[in-house]
């Protein structure tokens, strides 16, 4: 097989890698991207997109069930709700297919060469790719490592059979009667909630003392309440032990007491780890930052000409962070002056209700020594929230006391994820409370609660 020589080689076609390759192609850089699976990475194939599809289907089914049960104040009544789950999956897979094809098309349009196979470094400039037709050697002036991350396994509950990773849960062909979710992070709660709405008996086991330990307690309270309303068993401060397949149970202890929860299937979502094995990292001897590849503010690793973007470079492991990094690296390689100077990477949990966080939480701000003022506005006082039957949640602003600069925004609420970018925009633009307060917010929308939160921080909210 003829060796390929190129200016830029991107390893991994997830959000970080494919965006980097597209941008590099646009800038006229001779670019090759290597991917063993379908383009789109975890996000498009087994992460963000299919899980959101499943969550939507579950929401719709839950609504239909409520209508059928007659327990809705809307007065809507229907016949019994049924779900043809294989068809649901087909629809979900259709979306994934459309998006991964779209990415392939975009790469092609940008003039990026795609090599299908598993890449392995030989040295800092050369990569061997195991393809279907043999080993392909690629020599590149610059290499971008965008290998992503993988779900973390528990020693007592290795993936396989009824022990599912998030990938496995999305691929289930039928809805399990009972599902135990180990790890109450956002992935576990998103999928656990969806299966609860689809009819599974769901139990969530968390080792820490509360759900979503990465977020503050105030922010997670509406989710906790909702889980209870959905009949999800939430056990905190417990350790999952063993899955008894025949009995269909998962045992746990909390130090003193032991117990079991029903578990035809077990979903283990205890975090994700950077994918640093199997592609020849050991050939490069890169400086590491814990489990992650250490990078500077231009995503350069310790080896000249080798960059890294996305989950493999650290937290937060989010697709949009990887995309921004990938775009930046392509522009740097094209000779533009760029460096990472973003003020915030917004994060969303598609739990029920959804949670959004952009910038600093009050606790984080306090830790950095900032004197901040905080106020929140409850969706209970928001007209739009009432009209969609979801007035649980709130919008909270964290602003500097001295100059009123907005340094953080958090929110919980149904459909509140759509405001995440708005919050991030305010922070990036350097908005002060007055800027938010003086902007006319369209009525009636959930966004008004951001304005009201700003007014409330200033001491004169109107609608509360």
Partner 1 sequence: MGQHVIKMPDVGEGIAEAELVEWHVKVGDPVNEDMVLAAVMTDKATVEIPSPVEGIVAWLGGEVGEQISVGAPLLKIEVAGDGNTDAAATPRPAEPLAEDEDAPAQPAADTRETSLKEEPDGGGEAQDAPVSARRQPDKTTSPAGKATRDRSLPAQTRKEGDRPLAAPAVRLRAREAGVDLRFVRGSGPAGRITHEDLDLHLDAGARPGTAAARAPDNRVTDFKVVGLRRRIAEKMQVAKSRIPHITYVEEVEMDALEDLRAALNTRKRDDQTRLTLLPFLLLAMVRAIREQPSLNALYDDEAGIVHQHGGVHVGIATQTRNGLVVPVVRHAETLDLWSCAAEIARLAEAGRNGTATREELSGSTITITSLGALGGIATTPVINHPEVAIIGVNKMQVRPVWDGAQFLPAKMMNLSSSFDHRIIDGWDAAVFVQRIKTLLETPASIFIED
Residue 156 marked as a ligand binder: no
Torsion of CA 13, 15, 18, 19, to 10 degrees: -170
Nearest residue to 340 via CA among 358, 353, 321 = 321
Of 153 and 428, which CB lies nearer to partner 1 in the complex structure?
Answer: 428
Residue 251 marked as a ligand binder: no
Residue 459 marked as a ligand binder: no
Nearest residue to 433 via CA among 419, 450, 416 = 450
Catalytic residue among 114, 443, 460, 463: 443
> Residue 441, interface with partner 1 (CB under 8 A)?
no
CA–CA gap between residue 259 and residue 140 (Å, rounded)? 56
Residue 411 marked as a ligand binder: no
> Residue 338, interface with partner 1 (CB under 8 A)?
yes
> Residue 459, interface with partner 1 (CB under 8 A)?
yes
Look-up: residue for tokens 């492991």?
Answer: 317
> Residue 364, interface with partner 1 (CB under 8 A)?
no
> Residue 404, interface with partner 1 (CB under 8 A)?
yes
Phi first, then psi: what are they for 435, rounded to 5°?
-65, -45
Residue-wise DSSP of 165-229? -HHHHHH-SS--SEEEEE--SHHHHHHHHHHHHHT-EEEEEESSSSSSTTS-HHHHHHHHHHHHH
> Residue 277, interface with partner 1 (CB under 8 A)?
no
Of 264 and 448, which CB lies nearer to partner 1 in the complex structure?
Answer: 448
Residue 145 marked as a ligand binder: no
> Residue 405, interface with partner 1 (CB under 8 A)?
yes
* 42 touches 148 (CB < 8 A): yes
Q: Which of 432, 447, 449, 451 touches partner 1 (CB under 8 A)?
A: 432
- Chain-centre distance of CA 331, in angstroms? 25
Q: 414: which 2 tokens?
A: 């149904």
Residue 85 marked as a ligand binder: no
> Residue 139, interface with partner 1 (CB under 8 A)?
no
Of 246 and 368, which CB lies nearer to partner 1 in the complex structure?
Answer: 368
Q: Which of 212, 399, 446, 453 touches partner 1 (CB under 8 A)?
A: 399
> Residue 329, interface with partner 1 (CB under 8 A)?
no
Neighbours of 321 (CB within 10 A): 23
Pairing mode, strands 272-274 and 149-151: antiparallel
Neighbours of 80 (CB within 10 A): 8
Q: Which of 109, 336, 443, 463 touches partner 1 (CB under 8 A)?
A: 336
Q: 181: which 2 tokens?
A: 């979710």
> Residue 430, interface with partner 1 (CB under 8 A)?
yes
**Peptide bond connecting 353 to the previous residue in cis, omega within 30 degrees of 0:** yes
Q: Which of 76, 247, 401, 462 touches partner 1 (CB under 8 A)?
A: 401
User: Measured from the CB of residue 403, what is the shortest distance to partner 1 in angstroms?
Assistant: 4
Q: 436-440 long-range CB contacts below 8 Å, 24 or more apart?
A: 436/397, 436/406
Of 131 and 298, which CB lies nearer to partner 1 in the complex structure?
Answer: 298
Q: In terms of residues, how long is the chain?
A: 464
Q: Which of 77, 380, 387, 439 touches partner 1 (CB under 8 A)?
A: 439
Neighbours of 373 (CB within 10 A): 18
Residue 189 marked as a ligand binder: yes
Binding mask 286-325 for partner 1 (x = CB under 8 A): ----------------------------------------
Residue 319 marked as a ligand binder: yes
- Chain-centre distance of CA 119, in angstroms? 25
Nearest residue to 317 via CA among 266, 353, 269, 379 = 269
Question: Applying CB under 8 A, what is the total number of residues that bind partner 1?
Answer: 28
> Residue 79, interface with partner 1 (CB under 8 A)?
no
User: Measured from the CB of residue 359, what is the shortest distance to partner 1 in angstroms?
Assistant: 13
> Residue 368, interface with partner 1 (CB under 8 A)?
no
Nearest residue to 280 via CA among 298, 319, 306, 311 = 306
Residue 128 known to be catalytic:
no
Where in 149-168 is the site for partner 1 (CB under 8 A)?
none
Q: 371: which 2 tokens?
A: 């004197």
> Residue 458, interface with partner 1 (CB under 8 A)?
yes
DSSP state, 111? T
> Residue 403, interface with partner 1 (CB under 8 A)?
yes
Nearest residue to 58 via CA among 230, 198, 227 = 198
Residue 311 marked as a ligand binder: yes
Task: Kindly indicate which of the ranges 110-118, 201-209, 356-364, 403-411 contains the residues binding partner 1, using the contact rule CB under 8 A.
Answer: 403-411
Task: Kindly indicate which of the ranges 75-83, 146-154, 205-213, 336-344 contains the residues binding partner 1, using the contact rule CB under 8 A.
Answer: 336-344
Nearest residue to 8 via CA among 258, 223, 273, 306 = 306
> Residue 337, interface with partner 1 (CB under 8 A)?
yes
Binding-site residue ranges for NAD(+): 183-190, 206, 271
Binding site for partner 1 (CB under 8 A): 336-339, 341-342, 371, 373, 399, 401-405, 428-430, 432-435, 437-439, 457-460
Binding-site residue ranges: 52, 147-149, 183-190, 206, 271, 311, 317-320
Residues classed as catalytic = 443
């Amino acid at each position: 097989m003829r060796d390929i020589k190129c200016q830029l080689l991107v390893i991994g076609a997830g959000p970080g890698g494919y965006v980097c390759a597209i941008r590099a192609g646009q800038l006229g850089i001779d670019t090759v991207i290597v991917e063993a699976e379908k383009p789109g990475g975890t996000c498009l194939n087994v992460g963000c997109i299919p899980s959101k599809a499943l969550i939507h289907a579950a929401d719709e089914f839950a609504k239909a069930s409520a209508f059928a049960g007659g327990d809705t104040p809307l007065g809507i009544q229907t016949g019994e709700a049924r779900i043809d789950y294989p068809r649901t999956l087909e629809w979900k897979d259709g979306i994934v297919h459309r998006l991964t094809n779209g990415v392939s098309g975009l790469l092609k349009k940008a003039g990026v060469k795609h090599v299908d196979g598993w890449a392995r470094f030989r040295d800092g400039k050369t990569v061997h790719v195991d393809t279907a037709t043999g080993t392909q050697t690629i020599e590149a002036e610059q290499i971008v490592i965008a290998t992503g991350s993988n779900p973390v396994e528990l020693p007592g509950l290795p993936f396989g059979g009824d022990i599912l990773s998030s990938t496995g849960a999305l691929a289930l062909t039928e809805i399990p009667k009972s599902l135990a979710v180990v790890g109450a992070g956002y992935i576990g709660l998103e999928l656990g909630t969806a299966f609860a709405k689809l009819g599974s008996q769901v139990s969530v086991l968390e080792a820490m003392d509360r759900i979503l330990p990465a977020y503050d307690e105030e922010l997670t309270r509406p989710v906790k309440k909702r889980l209870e309303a959905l009949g999800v068993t939430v056990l905190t401060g417990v350790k999952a032990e063993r899955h008894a397949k025949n009995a269909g149970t998962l045992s746990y202890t909390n130090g003193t007491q032991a117990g079991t929860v029903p578990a035809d299937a077990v979903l283990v979502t205890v975090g994700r780890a950077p994918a640093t094995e199997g592609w020849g990292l050991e050939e490069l001897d890169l400086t590491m930052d814990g489990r992650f590849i250490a990078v500077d503010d231009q995503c350069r690793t310790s080896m000249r000409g080798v960059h890294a973007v996305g989950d493999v470079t650290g937290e937060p492991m989010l697709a949009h962070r990887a995309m921004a990094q990938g775009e930046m690296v392509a522009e740097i390689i094209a000779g533009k002056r760029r460096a990472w100077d973003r003020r915030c990477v917004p994060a969303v949990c598609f739990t029920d209700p959804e949670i959004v966080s952009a910038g600093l939480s009050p606790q984080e701000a306090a830790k950095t020594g900032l004197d901040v003022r905080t106020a929140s506005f409850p969706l209970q006082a928001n007209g739009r929230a009432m009209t969609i039957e979801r007035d649980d949640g709130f919008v909270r602003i964290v602003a500097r006391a001295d100059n009123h600069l907005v340094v953080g925004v958090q929110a919980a609420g149904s459909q509140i994820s759509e405001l995440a970018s708005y919050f991030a925009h305010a922070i990036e633009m350097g908005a002060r409370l007055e800027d938010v307060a003086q902007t006319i917010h369209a009525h009636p929308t959930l966004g008004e609660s951001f304005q009201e939160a700003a007014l409330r921080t200033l001491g004169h909210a109107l609608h509360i």
